């Protein structure tokens, strides 16, 4: 890792713990059958991709969930609660770790996200950490719904590279999804698959000689 000068972090299950099974169970409770095929870590219905790229508004997303469940009486609040159930939180010490890494590298965040999750996360960070944003943790944070692109599309990586004048060979991308790792490699980035729980991010970085 001696040549690495820049690090692009994923958010979910790298920094912020998420649990897909929570959302699967909650969506099933709303009446969605074959929930594993509808929403999973590695594959899911197009409604989620469209929401993450800003193609769908929150209300359109909610209507899509109602249609899939076959129940127009499900409330917005029920859908938001089910969808947000996968969001767990940031383990202790991770924000401090990111600030330490930022002292050594140019650091960025690149997250597939959506408006409902984003608002919940910002509220959570304010409640739990008295943080108004995560801007101070990185040189710049990128969210898919604001870029109208999502990982693993090579274009999203190329945009981050271009806007920040990054040299791909000097840039490392860390993500927990194999398909996103492949997208990063197509953009010429070095990439590491995060296989540890977010609470072990520091050990993961040490084991890979990043810190």
Q: Give the pLDDT confidence of 146-168 residue by residue, as tens digits.
A: 999 999 999 999 999 999 999 99
At 34 the pLDDT is 86
Residue 141 near residue 8, CB atoms below 8 Å: no
Beta carbons within 8 Å of 149's beta carbon, 6+ residues apart: 53, 155, 156, 159
Positions of the chain with pLDDT under 70: 1, 41-43
Per-residue pLDDT at 135: 94
Where does residue 123 rank: exposed (0-12), middle (13-18), buried (19+ CB within 10 A)? exposed
What is the structure's pLDDT at 1?
A: 66
Residue-level pLDDT at 66: 97
pLDDT digit string (tens) for 14-35?
A: 999 999 999 999 999 999 988 8
């Amino acid at each position: 890792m001696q040549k690495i000068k820049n690090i692009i972090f994923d958010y979910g299950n790298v920094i912020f713990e998420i649990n897909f099974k929570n959302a699967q169970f909650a969506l099933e409770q709303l009446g969605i059958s074959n929930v594993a095929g509808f929403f999973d870590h590695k594959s899911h219905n197009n409604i989620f991709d469209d929401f993450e790229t800003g193609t769908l508004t929150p209300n359109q997303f909610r209507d899509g969930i109602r249609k899939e469940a076959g129940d127009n009486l499900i409330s917005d609040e029920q859908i938001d609660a089910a969808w947000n159930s996968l969001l767990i939180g940031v383990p202790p010490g991770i924000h401090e770790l990111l600030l330490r890494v930022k002292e050594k590298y140019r650091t960025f965040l690149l997250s597939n996200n959506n408006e409902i999750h984003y608002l919940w996360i910002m509220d959570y960070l304010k409640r739990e950490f008295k943080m108004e944003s995560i801007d101070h943790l990185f040189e710049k944070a990128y969210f898919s719904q604001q870029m109208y692109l999502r990982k693993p599309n090579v274009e999203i990586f190329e945009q981050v590279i271009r806007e920040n004048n990054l040299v791909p060979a000097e840039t490392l991308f860390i993500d927990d999804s194999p398909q996103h790792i492949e997208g990063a490699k197509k953009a010429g980035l070095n990439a590491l698959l995060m296989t540890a729980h977010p609470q072990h991010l520091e050990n993961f970085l040490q084991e890979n000689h990043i810190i």
